[in-house]
Amino acid sequence: MFKLILYVKPRLEEYDVKVYVYDSSGKLVEERGFPRVKQVVIRSPEVRLSRQLFHEYIAMVLDAFQPRLELKEGGLLYVYG
- How sure is the predictor about 72, in pLDDT bands with cuts at 50, 70 and 90? very high
pTM for the full predicted model: 0.85
What are the residues facing 69 on neighbouring strands? 79
pLDDT of residue 4: 94
Q: What is the pLDDT of residues 5-45, one digit of tens each?
A: 999 999 999 999 999 999 999 999 999 999 999 999 999 88
Span 56-61, average pLDDT = 84
Q: In terms of C-beta density within 10 A (0-12 exposed, 13-18 middle, 19 or more buried), how is residue 18 classed?
A: middle
